[in-house]
Structure 1
């Protein structure tokens, strides 16, 4: 009977350990709005593209790529985070569809990304001179590590649970085998 209660305790601990690391995953930041908004038409010159999130994001892992209808990048410097807003300064944009691709890391360490597009209809905006090309993708760095931690912790815990179970089984087997009359 004691072995059964020990196994139940180990299984309960395993279930709790597996579920606890999943809790922060529900707290990932998410994009609430962008300026300009997805699908909007802009009639005044822009100096920056802004992304507002429901929670903080990490500046050092943020990338925003703004690609004009000519296929060229129009970023002007590094992105900046103030409170919950990620802003990317831009050079004067050409007329036409402008694509924005972004990638950042939420406060809980989870990488998040997305993209949207808007139309630049600013009077006096230069016309695109070349055919559009494929938009640049945000750089992917070593910031993908946090996604692996729940799997590493869970895997390590399962190895410990299995090793403990095997040890208990072996111990019980040896006791039963060593008992006279068994």
Structure 2
């Protein structure tokens, strides 16, 4: 008997730690994203933005099988946004974002490090954060298709005219 469920050909976020829209009451040391298929670690980007607008991830995301791990600096109470962009094993990019809240007991609030604003973001992080704000969750293919489709059409048209011109020239 055939199964009537639609097939999914791209990576999908199955879950996270902390979970989307959850409230955490203990200190975090990493964010973990779990996908339905293997992801390419060297192409993964994860940005954790705190209530102060600063980044709270430390180091690079690490992909192990279907999970991506990002170490985080001690977090304070408030709302956090996790924006991610990963490339699945088949080469398709996938991005999305989710939010969670941290509510720590008063004695467990970390003191801010002197001179550490955590806001040193690279161009890739800024682009990811900007792109992820347009789509709360789901596939992130829309933003690049907007430019790729017209560019592809221009390249195909140019190729057509070059081939046509080459045939006309060689026929003389």
TM-score, scaled relative to structure 1: 0.58
Q: 2:59 aligned with 1:77, yes or no? A: yes
Structure 1 contact 103–138 (Cα < 8 Å) conserved: no
Choose between structure 1 and 2: higher helix proportion.
1
Q: Does the 8 Å contact 1:33/1:51 carry over to 2?
A: yes
Structure having the higher strand fraction is 2
Runs of 4 or more consecutive aligned structure 1 residues displaced over 3 Å after TM superposition = 136-141
- Is residue 103 of structure 1 aligned with residue 85 of structure 2? yes
Residues paired across the two proteins, number:
126
Please state how far the C-alpha of 1:140 moved relative to its aligned partner: 5.3
Q: Which one of the candidate residues 95, 103, 109 is aligned to 1:121?
A: 103
1:49 counterpart = 2:37: no
Contact 1:63 1:139 in 2 (8 A): no
In structure 2, the residue matched to 1:66 is 48
Q: Is this contact kept in 2: 1:95–1:127, CA < 8 A?
A: no
Residue by residue over 1:67-120, the C-alpha shift from the partner in whole angstroms, topping out at 9 and shown as x without a partner, is: 111111111111001110001100001111011111111111111101011011
Larger Rg: 1
Which of 20, 32, 41 is 2:14 aligned to? 32
| TM-score, length of structure 2 as denominator length | 0.61
